[in-house]
Amino acid sequence: MDVPHTHIALFLDTENLAGWLKHNGVEHLIDELSEFGLVTIRQAFGNWGGPNLQGFQDHLNEQGFDFVHTFHPVSGKNSADIAMTIEVMKVAQTSLDVDWFVLATGDSDFSPLFREIRSLGKHVVGVGPHSPLSESVKRFCARYFYTDQQNSHRTICPPGLEGAIHLTRSVLQESEQPLNCSVLKNRILSVDEHFDEKRYGFSSFSEFIQAINGVDTRRYGDHQVLCARLSKRS
């Protein structure tokens, strides 16, 4: 079985994304990221002594986050931006095995940092709401996750879905062992670079895979990595 080797660092500005956190945004994000590799570094930035974030601490602790405290000497100013930039660059220079940097920054302008990380040969993933700023900075990102993305209503068979399912089954048929879903998606993209499960109304690749008849999925290992294989009856 293919073992995931991609290491991911996730940096979260909690004060800019408090509303998203209330709706289990972090769990959905980590689930999506697990398709690409292991989220080995998880840092959450905020004024942890303030009342606004106290309700999130236990929850983020359960998700494996380290807390970086940022206090605000000037009322109304979010000092997490500078602290996050420092930590991101520190990880980029010292943790050379980290390939992907996920910056959940909300609506703050981190485009210079995005460019710098990309210039180091790393992949950048942005996380924030739809806005003119997000549309501007996402060109520096390999992926961009919208925190205000509404669930799409799936049609029974959108154009191209049958072809995507056929391609997925063909890739799985070539493997005798269950495939890590991140490996599976990369193999699909090597055949069809325009593949995107969201075109068919799925919020994640794992949701797309689990909806295909004749494909079994199972989580393996301590990190519960999702893998897929053709059903024996297929």
Same domain, 170 and 135: no
Q: Distance between CA 75 and CA 80 in Å, rounded? A: 13
pLDDT of res. 233: 58
Residue 93, pLDDT > 80, answer yes
Same domain, 77 and 127: yes
Mean pLDDT of all residues in 42-48: 91
CATH code of residue 204: 3.30.420.610
Domain encompassing residue 23: 7-146
Same domain, 131 and 187: no
Burial 112-137 (b: 16+ CB within 10 A, else e): ebbebbeeeebbbbbbbbeeebbeeb
CATH code of residue 96: 3.40.50.1010
**Max mean pLDDT range (22-26, 88-92, 117-121, 162-166):** 88-92
The count of domains in the chain is 2
Q: What is the mean pLDDT of the chain?
A: 83
Mean pLDDT of all residues in 178-205: 86
Same domain, 106 and 190: no
pLDDT of res. 152: 35
Read off the pLDDT of residues 1-26 as tens digits, 9 standing for 90 and up. Answer: 444 568 999 999 988 888 888 888 89
